Structure 1
């Protein structure tokens, strides 16, 4: 009978780090009474089953209004759809309305969430074993996982309190080049980064674009949280500032509209010129990768999201103002509760950052905060969280830090969860100064 040695399988499958998010999910299932700060799930109190059919009907009406015959509408929804997506026109209108990103529909690819967009982008851009992806560190585990699955080496760049420093990016690109390799692309989340909640300032955004041109980098800008800035506080995306077409923009509808649709998008308006001199967008040229990964994204999911976009005049920023206020309220609840349980001047050894939005904040604690500690916290104190070490691209980063995800807990649950967390921290032996150094 055929069997396999576990270590003989691909590193993307057997590496324990690739299963870290699964471990968090399983811990939540094992301790169902535990309050969970471990996920970044979006708020789900605004969903209504009746909306599903209404959104699909709205999109069907939209197609009919465009003059499509009934047979064509039926085929679009029931058959395999275009590889690059059915709702590219609508997404292009949304990008112009919400982000001042002016690209043709041909520059848009509809994907199965951010994850497929990242896989497609990396598969197209990384062409040699000597090519390297630069990435902010700590980083969303999905980009590291995508790179690992494709055997793409990643060079982490430690972020500061204001996110990624452009000069550190330039230095990293030069260091990679000095090793005989080529830094091809840079991944970051400029707005409310997962896991740290940092925001890259406007001046640094402009400088990042300059560095990308100087070092010949493509920027992979991941922006799942940008719509949720406080009123009047939104910064322009890198893509909207990009005059040199250095940015490939990666977006998702999971946080803004409908997580279960599993839809995202890749925006790549760079020109690709073939041997005969014909020109296509990079998004179109990446179609073979999309086709091999998933053939095409669900047309039914696209119809739901398309109906939402049409119904809201392609203006998700306005449509998500109430949702943004919910996340802002939850952020304030988390920060207020932390201040109450860990007051200034105490000997608790706990500090935290103060994001201006997003889904996460980072707590520094006086002990090693690993998965074993998280399990004790869930089992004995009824609260779970995510070790920050899971998100760092070096071996020692984030060992005494935890990520607090507050997006899917009501304010009362957040306050109770922070109280339970304070009890866990109080009962956990603190490291000595020598151990922390």
Structure 2
């Protein structure tokens, strides 16, 4: 991430397929006031808060688990058919904090192992590294991680005298690969998790952005055995500057003396020793968005979903035009065709490392992301990730034309 920021800063005129940011033209500065006013009206009218209570809610630290948990729970029920007790929610400083809290709570000692799909989002492997947590990789296929491979890896870890504790996965349009699991594979993965006594950490930042606009069931909504801890984010569906995410952790925890509680309460204890609480102002603005859109973010994002669908279609069409079949075969260039989301992966006939990115940015005016950083066990050296989310629509074809010129030259 630091590398991409540095290269982007050095070449601000380059067309950038690198970041997974939302497209900024959808942001309206004035809407922030509208949403904040909607939340304050909700407190006064729906909650019956007086002026002093409203002031305290907005300006003070607030409860560690968050102040809009009830609004998020209503929205999850409408958008994902996911019905959870609001007290099972912890509002976090982005989904990244949710990952950190979940890993800290679940991994008890050095014998516990985190399984991750590979290639994998660098945030979770980075969090595991910070916490000194061992990871094992579950290779990803054309439709996400194979449940049978998950079982194999879990059994291998257990045979080595360690405990496979949890599996991290992005079932919908994963970062970086863009792949998505089929519904039968999701059901089979839940079966394997129960068989292997695994918890699943499901991360779902891209689920709204299916090209066919048909909602895929989350693992959490299919879960009947309490195996899934669900990470959500408002970064892509609302706006990333709010830095607001959440964890659904409704598993029952047994403590000393017969004490029972929710895993969410244990996460809140850890959070109280790190960020203390999630900023009330960010929660107020996002809470106002939920109120304003009648607790339904999926239809509120229909326009952005259609935009990203067009952007991905334009990117795929530009790749087809830039690399005709005969040249594609000669150069050994190829790419996958995601069913949604922001990302796809291009195979290239050279080492797509940081030095290659620098040359491409400097000499050809286009940016992309090396894939090897998403492979903690090695791999991806001849692959690059392209994101369609941040490129202006009229720049996609030109960006791919520049990329194709670089690929041809680098392949010589």
1: distance between equivalents of 2:404 and 2:149? 36
How far did residue 70 of structure 1 move? 1.7
Corresponding position of 1:398 = 380
Answer yes or no: is the 8 Å Cα contact 1:191–1:200 preserved in 2. yes
In the alignment, the residues of structure 2 paired with residue 290 and residue 90 of structure 1 have an alpha-carbon distance, to the nearest angstrom, of 21
For the residues of structure 2 that align with 1:230 and 1:24, how far apart are their CA atoms? 27
Listed as ranges, the matches of 1:281-300 within 5 Å are 281-300=262-281
Partner of 1:189: 170
1:307 matches 2:307: no
What is residue 109 of structure 2 aligned with on the other side?
A: 128
Does the aligned pair in 1 maintain the 2:331–2:411 contact within 8 Å?
A: no
Of the three residues 28, 33, 49, the one matched with 1:53 is 33
| TM-score (norm. length: structure 1) | 0.92
1:417-428 equivalences in 2 (<5 Å)? 417-428=399-410
Counterpart of 1:98 in structure 2 is: 79
Stretch deviating more after TM superposition (156-165 or 225-234): 225-234
Cα offset for 1:232? 4.5
Deviations 1:339-375 (A, max 9, x none): 0011112223210000011000000001111111111
Q: CA deviation at 1:304?
A: 0.2
CA shift, 1:49, in A, is: 1.5
1:32 and 2:15 matched: no
Q: Which residue of 2 is the match for residue 216 of structure 1?
A: 197
Residue 324 of structure 1 deviates from its aligned partner by 0.2
Q: Does 1:176 align with 2:157?
A: yes
Structure 1 distance, partners of 2:245, 2:83, is 18
1:274, distance to aligned residue in structure 2 (A)? 2.5
Q: Deviations over 1:370-413 (max 9, x none)?
A: 11111110011001111110101212x10100000110112221
What stretches of structure 1 move > 4 A for 4+ residues in a row?
none
Secondary structure in 2 aligned to 1:76?
Answer: helix
1-side partners of 2:51 and 2:255: how far apart?
37
Alpha-carbon distance in 1 for matches of 2:258, 2:301 = 43
Asked if 2 retains the 8 angstrom alpha-carbon contact of 1:136 and 1:159, the reply is yes
Q: Which 10-residue stretch deviates more, 275-284 or 303-312?
A: 275-284
Contact 1:34–1:382 (Cα < 8 Å) also in 2: yes
Q: Does 1:350 align with 2:333?
A: yes
Per-residue deviation, residues 274-315 of structure 1 (Å, max 9, x unmatched): 333343211112111111120001000000000000011110
Classify the secondary structure of the residue corresponding to 1:339. helix
Alpha-carbon distance in structure 1 between the residues aligned to 2:335 and 2:109 = 41
* 1:274 counterpart = 2:258: no
Deviates more, 1:138-147 or 1:342-351: 342-351
Q: Distance between the aligned counterparts of 2:256 and 2:132, measured in 1?
A: 28
- 1:43 maps to what in 2? 23
Name the CA distance, whole Å, in 2 between partners of 1:419 and 1:292.
50
State the 1:414 CA deviation. 1.2
1:64 paired with 2:44, answer: yes
Contact conserved, 2:213 with 2:305, CA < 8 A, in 1? no
| Partner-residue secondary structure (3-state), 2:258 | coil
The CA RMSD over aligned residues, in Å, is: 1.0
Corresponding residue of 1:407: 389
In the alignment, structure 1 segments of 5+ residues that lack a partner are 1-20, 431-437
Shift of 1:43: 1.3
Aligned equivalents of 1:423, 1:280: Cα separation in 2: 59
Contact in 2 for aligned 1:34/1:383 (Cα 8 Å): yes
Distance in 2 of aligned mates of 1:231 and 1:310: 27
Separation in structure 1 between the aligned mates of residue 342 and residue 305 of structure 2, nearest angstrom: 10
Partner of residue 371 from structure 1, selected from 350, 354, 362: 354
